[in-house]
Amino acid sequence: MLATEKEINVLEEATVRFCGDSGDGMQLAGTQFTNTSALQGNDIATFPDFPAEIRAPRGTKAGVSGFQIHFSSREIFTPGDTVDALVAMNPAALATNLSDLRDGGILICDDAEFEKKGLEQAGYKTNPLEDGSLSKFKLHRVNITKLTRLSVEGLGLGTKEADRCRNFFAMGLVFWLYDRSLEPTLRFITDKFGKRPEVAQANERALKAGYNYGETVEGMSTQYQVQKAVLKPGKYRNIMGNQATAYGLIAAARLSKKRLFMGAYPITPASDVLHELSVFKHFDVLTFQAEDEIAAMTATIGAAFAGEFAVTASSGPGIALKGEGMGLAVMTELPMLIINVQRGGPSTGLPTKTEQADLFQAVLGRNGECPMPVIAARSPGDCFDSVLEAWRIAVEYMTPVMLLTDGYIANGSEPWPIPKAAELPRVTVTHPGPLVNGNGHANGHANGSADDPDGYGEKSKFLPYLRDQKLARPWAVPGTVGLEHRIGGLEKQDITGNVNYEAENHQHMVNTRAQKVANVADSIPLQEVNGPTSGDLLVVSWGGTYGACATAVQKAQSAGKAVAHAHLRYLNPFPKNLGDLLKSYKKVLVPELNMGQLNLLLRGKYLVDCIGYNKVQGKPFSVGELVSKIYELVG
């Protein structure tokens, strides 16, 4: 049969999932498919899902790793609720992923793996490929193992090594199915395996064999195409959340002429930020892999005191350990970023799964009255902008800032309109200059004079806690003559910074620190809504659930419902108009991947009877469930 006789079916969008054993290279297959689709001009959203164990026993359900790609010819925000094509490399992968395949969906299984042991491990009593249980799907039984081995014959590879190319065969087949170019993956193979030509050749052969198999075998009668998406004109690349975070850090430091210091301790899913940064030393990036989370945090405080752009990144359990250090950061009023790539909790919880249950921890989770600005990124690419914004707040208000992302956007990817460095917002950092024999403008305050540089009547002394209008204190850097000063975690007197335990002073300082953080609201945009400015329902979301909530609201709006969407970036303080906004709708729905944390904060602050929609299952919302909830509320 010839290729030309195959039917071609043009789709608006499609969702594909590769799943197999964690040793089967499914993440690689997904990443290649993603990059290829992005390069072909589709809009994409991805969802890698992998087990916490590095290598669970082969063939078990615990060891199944998957990667889902949603690609489309229109703008999309989520990796898709259901899957149109599922590649299952073994029975365990089939058993754990089949429920997401839509009726009539394409199912490709490696026939060779569906033997006694594999079936038993997956809990199958009979072979699902043969017992008729898969009749509602377009099942393709492909002996991927055998065909891969055949394709690499003559290269002198052992069976084990040959079998490592199975993912390339599967990729090739799916590439044919969706009419994707092999070029980007062939380039990747040369780059990655160039040093081992026999492996490079084997992967290339397996990839092409898979592609040719699709083209020639009779069972595959239809090829699908998804056209380019109409995205905003410009130059794009694909970017993952943690990568965007790292780029944001590098850019923000560079633009404010600072060295970048990152203190970090390895933790899933935040480690990639450290990995990314550690290869960009030529941007004057210092990465310090600390002995523990506490050291990562406190070294970050040291770096901030030393006058650099300091950041630490971790996930829930690590953030818990940093709590005391964050208190010191709040007390010493030094600018720095604390990034929490949230994962399922409590305790060690679900390290590789997503959740947004650390909002209380971020806003409230420290001893004493310890306010800190908190902002959250909403998508992989948005991590970049969020870092720039977090740094702006940190510097302008002299405060640590917490940035929340999550495992879902950290590992997910999307097309990213490439910014021009010259057009990015720049944060100007000013440090007070030297003060010699009482001369010089120690704090550089506008109300000062030559005789009285700070306008405070003290000529010869640097006052580390003398504040500007925003209530920010000066950032005096060691090495500056005349500004020698001591800071610490004990309560201090305002203006002088001297240790002080007096009752009124403590009240004053607590109020001042709170007011300073509240002042951040003066510099952030008012909350926008997508949809009517009043009406039946406002959906309020934050963080990585943006895509699902935005898509669900759009669907309800197209169905004529008076529903609006407000997605919050600023979680502490909230935008100034938020309270009024909430009160402009009959109902407010707050979907969160936690048990109602933003909901409680909104209720507490604005006395609005918000309705929660809550889920903690280690996975993102599906658009479908949110649409159902919206319909339930607006009828």
Partner 1 sequence: MSTAALPVLTAADFASDQDVRWCPGCGDYSILAQMKKVMPTLGVPREKVVFVSGIGCSSRFPYYMNTYGIHSIHGRAPAVATGIKTCRPDLQVWVITGDGDGLSIGGNHLMHAIRRNMDLNIVLFNNRIYGLTKGQYSPTSPLGQRTKSTPMGVIDNPLHPLSIAIGAEATFVARSIDTHIQHLGMVLKRAAEHEGTAFIEVYQNCNVFNDGAWDYATDRAMKAETTIELEHGKPLIFGKNKDKGIRLNGMEPEIVELGKGITEDDLLFHDEKCAEPSLAYLLSRMRYEDGFPEPIGVFRSVQAPLYDKLMNEQIELAIQQKGPGDLDKLFNAGDTWVVE
Q: Which of residues 399-418 bind partner 1 (CB under 8 A)?
A: 418
Stretch that binds partner 1, among 20-28, 77-85, 155-163, 245-253 (CB under 8 A): 245-253
Q: Which stretch binds partner 1 (CB under 8 A): 304-312, 530-538, 594-602, 605-613?
A: 304-312
Please, what is the minimum distance in Å from the beta carbon of residue 220 to partner 1?
28
Phi/psi of residue 290, nearest 5 degrees: -80, 170
Residue 46 CB-density burial (10 A; 0-12 exposed, 13-18 middle, 19+ buried): buried
Instruction: Give the closest residue to 247 by CA, choosing from 400, 382, 439.
Output: 382
Query: Which SS3 state, helix, strand or coil, does residue 480 take?
Result: coil
- Which residues have a Cβ under 8 Å from the Cβ of 618 and sit 6 or more positions away? 344, 350, 353, 354, 355
Interface with partner 1, residue 616, by CB under 8 A: no
Number of residues that bind partner 1 (CB under 8 A): 73
Q: What is the DSSP string of 496-507?
A: T--B---HHHHH
Choice from 105, 184, 345, 543 touching partner 1 (CB under 8 A)? 184
Asked if residue 38 binds partner 1 (CB under 8 A), the reply is yes
Residues 6+ apart with CB under 8 A from 558: none
Site mask for partner 1 (CB under 8 A), range 508-537, x = bound:
------------------------------
Applying CB under 8 A, which of residues 23, 317, 349, 419 lies at the interface with partner 1? Answer: 419
8's CB contacts (< 8 A; 6+ apart) are 179, 222, 223, 224, 225
153 touches partner 1 (CB under 8 A): no
- What residues from 74 to 93 belong to the interface with partner 1 (CB under 8 A)? none
Stretch of 66-74, 95-103, 229-237, 593-601 lying at the interface with partner 1 (CB under 8 A): 229-237
**Sign, Cα dihedral of 155, 158, 163, 165:** negative
Q: Using the 8-state DSSP alphabet, how is residue 43 labeled? A: E
Does 425 participate in binding partner 1 (rule CB under 8 A)?
no
Half-sphere exposure of 338 (CA within 13 A, CB side): 36
Question: Cis link prior to 415 (omega < 30° from 0)?
Answer: no
Q: Which is nearer to partner 1, 360 or 501 (CB)?
A: 501
Site residues for partner 1, window 365-404 (CB under 8 A)?
A: none
Judged by CB under 8 A, the chain residues 526 through 585 that form the site for partner 1 are: none
Strand runs labelled E in 253-377:
260-264, 285-289, 309-314, 336-342, 374-376
Give whichever of 305 and 546 is closer to partner 1, judged by the CB atom. 305
Residue closer to partner 1, measured from CB, 75 or 111: 75
Does residue 186 bind partner 1 (CB under 8 A)?
A: no
Cα separation values, 501 from 210, 491, 505, 536, Å: 74, 6, 7, 52
Nearest approach, Cβ of residue 381 and partner 1 (Å):
11
Q: Could you give the maximum distance between any two Cα atoms of the chain, in Å?
A: 93
Q: Does 13 bind partner 1 (CB under 8 A)?
A: no
Strand-pair partners of 465: 495
Closest distance to partner 1 from the beta carbon of 86 (Å): 26
Question: Which residues in 316-355 contact partner 1 (CB under 8 A)?
Answer: 324-325, 327-328, 332
Q: Nearer to partner 1 by C-beta: 291 or 504? A: 291
**Binding residue (CB under 8 A) for partner 1 from 27, 35, 78, 121:** 35
The CB-of-487 to partner 1 minimum distance in angstroms stands at 6
Q: Which of 4, 7, 282, 558 binds partner 1 (CB under 8 A)?
A: 282
Whether 142 contacts 111, CB under 8 Å: yes
CA–CA separation, 268 and 317 (whole Å): 10
Among 109, 122, 295, 610, binds partner 1 (CB under 8 A): 295
Q: In the complex, what is the shortest distance from the CB of residue 457 to partner 1, in angstroms, rounded to a whole number?
A: 17
User: Among 197, 219, 234, 455, which residue interacts with partner 1 (rule: CB under 8 A)?
Assistant: 234
Least distance from C-beta 492 to partner 1, angstroms?
10
**Nearest residue to 239 (alpha-carbon basis) of 83, 95, 412:** 412
Residue selected from 136, 146, 281, 431 as contacting partner 1 according to rule CB under 8 A? 281
Is residue 611 within 8 A of residue 587, CB to CB? The reply is yes
Q: Given the complex with partner 1, which of 197 and 488 has the nearer CB atom?
A: 488
Can residue 257 be called a binding residue for partner 1 (CB under 8 A)? no
Window 448-487: residues binding partner 1 (CB under 8 A):
478-487
Q: Which two tokens stand for residue 397?
A: 């208000």
Bridge partners of 499, per DSSP, are 492
Of residues 397, 367, 343, the one with CA closest to residue 572: 397
Would you count residue 73 as binding partner 1 (CB under 8 A)? Answer: no
Q: What does 383-432 look like in DSSP terms, one character per residue?
A: HHHHHHHHHHHHHHHT-EEEEEEEHHHHH-EEEEEPPPGGGS--PPP---
Among 6, 259, 506, 555, binds partner 1 (CB under 8 A): 259
Do you find a cis peptide bond into 573, omega within 30 degrees of 0?
Answer: yes
User: In whole angstroms, how close is the CB of 191 to partner 1 at the nearest point?
Assistant: 10
The yes or no reply on residue 489 touching partner 1 (CB under 8 A) is: yes
One residue of 310, 581, 589, 630 binding partner 1 per CB under 8 A: 310
